[in-house]
Amino acid sequence: MATAMVSSAGALLAQLKEQHPLLKLHALSHLIAFVGSFWAEISSSVPIIESLCEDEDFGQRQLAALLVSKIFFYLGELNDSLSYALKAGPLFDVSEDSDYAHTLLAKAIDEYADLKCKESNQDATKVDPKLEAIVERMLDKCMWHWKYHQAIGIAIECRRLDKVEEAIFKGDSLDLLSYCLNISRSIVSLREYRREILLLLVKIHHKLLNPDYLSICQCLMDLDDPEGVVSVLEKLLRSPFKYQNLLAFQIAFDLVENERQAFLLSVRDRLPEPQTQTSGVTQLGSSEPDGATNLDVNVGSDLTSPSEDVNMTDEANSTIGNVMDPAEVSYSDRLVKAKRILSGETSIQLTLQFLYSHNRSDLLILKAIKQSVEMSDTVCHSATIYANAIMHAGTTVDTFLRKNLDWLGNATNWAKFSATAGLGVIHRGHLQHGRELMAPYLPPVGANGGGSPYSEGGALYALGLIHANHGGGIIQFLRDSLCCTNVEIIQHGACLGLGLSALGTADEEIYNDMRNILYTDSAVAGEAAGISMGLLMVGSASEKASEMLAYAHETQHEKIIRGLALGIALTVYGREEEADTLIEQMTRDQDPILRYGGGLLFLHLGLSCIPNLSRFHGLCLLSLNLIIHMLDMGQHLRLAFLVRVRV
């Protein structure tokens, strides 16, 4: 009742001027209790209270600092409020359930996170030990109350990986490790800091009694550590327990889903070779069989027929058993299967079977569109061809084209190029018979071409679409086709096909072939070479980007400049802050097209959040041709298309 009758803090403020320390202590204790009601009146005495904070002879300096902190909080001066809260030491209660405590804790965490970020960038800023103590008390409070997810979130934001490790071991380790992995991928924006977190997660996983090998390999893949993945796969494949063998296959499938061709090839090549000389086992790893000229290319019968690989594996096992012990026989068999999965053949075959058996496209729609399109309307003719390719993408169903060859022949020039390339979209992933399917349209090796250069160039582009990201069996043929012709349209298609089939491999020899085409200064071939160089180096942040930029300054062809601009953007796919220097350089360039290219570099901001290349892969397969054509249109249309790509 006495508290309710207090109408002024004047008496307590008067006691602050007394000489006896007990009177000052009494005044401070009661003023803190009433500060929420009388902060406006108390604020006039802030200089007196501040002097008590600075008085070394006064034994309750921290109490005075806490009162000043609360006064500044109500005045809206959060920086001063936090400064005095730090001076209050342990009297600042991090567990207090009030707006004052919640606001200052958030302020303290933000301030600490900023200082730790500057410290990691080797700035001269030093973290206040008192501020660090408050953050540590907050983290300890979270872990004391079993709020480990909250503790991990704060610790990651504050760059306290030691506290992250402590929280993981105190809580449900596997659940918290998964939570931490998701945070590092979705929230942490700095690439180098994300790598530090992933390295910590790998270390913690290995300390567990039953580590999650799937998560370990996900982290190792993000760290671009193929040797670590190989060691895990070998351990699981050699295990006598069947569930660990199956786990190795699941890891291989997960790696393939990310479609990073260079990484997959690196993992596959580092795995040991099966200890056998049997030819059947060796053939399992091939991506395209020899002597394909007499094979049946009927897609339906091919996909539904029994796989010959199973028979070869069984035969190989019987042969291996004569020279090796049963454990080595089983290990070699599992190793062959793992390599086959890593090559992408298994996933592609399953995808082809699924898309073929679940194809629900309506050919009557295409027939109606075809009949309504006038023969002279080349735009609608091309649009119908594109529609057919997208409707049947990956299904291997080209019935519409086979039944309308005469109508298809009405396409001319680049429309014929796109029509032939559409076969590549339809037969995407048909690796074994891709070259045979396109054989009627391909240019003869060693000659400059005997048919339409648009059809031949489109066929080479189609081969790249078929073998996109899995080009081991077709890259050499595309290189030979590129080097054996001087027809710029055929070079255009060969460059695009080669860039897609060697996507992300950063192969120096292929890059040199494309650079030679670029240096011919042919507008048509050079444009494709610029884009394909970017596809080849996608996500590598290679120094080749500087070389591409230098040539963009030298050439006079706008087509080549635009192709190089897109290629440079692709080289920094997913590299985040590593692309900032290049963006700054291009956006300040004197050439307006290159300034526009600097805007294209922001493509990496829209795609870097994607955990794998699947969406980018689809962009290459279905939209690359549209990008090429839109590069020749108005700038507003180009920018609008790129905005859609980011979404």
pLDDT at 279: 40
Domain spans, the chain:
9-205, 211-273+330-339, 504-634
Residue type, 568: I
pLDDT at 429: 87
Arithmetic mean of pLDDT over the chain:
80
Please compute the mean of the pLDDT values over residues 244-263 and round it to a whole number: 89
* Residue among 452, 458, 344, 438 nearest 396 (CA): 438
Please compute the mean of the pLDDT values over residues 292-318 and round it to a whole number: 37
pLDDT in tens, 158-181: 999 999 999 999 988 889 999 999
- Give the whole-angstrom CA distance, residue 529 versus residue 527: 5
pLDDT at 326: 84
**List of residues 6+ apart from 374 with CB closer than 8 A:** 380
Burial class (CB in 10 A: 0-12, 13-18, 19+), 227: exposed
DSSP 345-402: HHHHHHHHHHHHHT----HHHHHHHHHHS-TT-HHHHHHHHHHHHHHTTTT---HHHH
Please compute the mean of the pLDDT values over residues 321-327 and round it to a whole number: 65
- Give the whole-angstrom CA distance, residue 512 versus residue 533: 9
pLDDT band at 246 (very low <50, low <70, confident <90, very high): very high
pLDDT band at 460 (very low <50, low <70, confident <90, very high): very high
The yes-or-no verdict on residue 561 having pLDDT over 70 is: yes
What kind and span of H or E run contains 428? Answer: none
pLDDT in tens, 67-108: 999 999 999 999 999 999 999 988 898 888 899 999 999 999
The yes-or-no verdict on residue 626 having pLDDT over 50 is: no
pLDDT in tens, 509-518: 999 999 999 9
pLDDT at 493: 93
DSSP 187-244: T---HHHHHHHHHHHHHHHHHSSS--HHHHHHHHHHTT-HHHHHHHHHHHHH-S-HHH
Please compute the mean of the pLDDT values over residues 511-527 and round it to a whole number: 93
**Tokens in use for 403?**
């039944």
- Give the whole-angstrom CA distance, residue 428 versus residue 421: 11
The yes-or-no verdict on residue 285 having pLDDT over 70 is: no
pLDDT in tens, 112-143: 988 888 887 776 678 888 899 999 999 999 99
pLDDT at 276: 60
pLDDT at 642: 32
**Helices 558-571 + 523-536 axis angle, to 10:** 0
- Give the whole-angstrom CA distance, residue 341 versus residue 617: 19
DSSP 8-state code for residue 576: G
- Residue 421 vs residues 401, 459, 534, 562: alpha-carbon distances, Å: 12, 6, 20, 22
DSSP 8-state code for residue 20: -
pLDDT at 324: 63
Please compute the mean of the pLDDT values over residues 481-499 and round it to a whole number: 92
Decide: 517 and 495 in contact? Cβ < 8 Å. yes
Angle at 264 between CA 263 and CA 267, to 5 degrees: 85
Q: By three-state DSSP, how is residue 480 classified?
A: helix
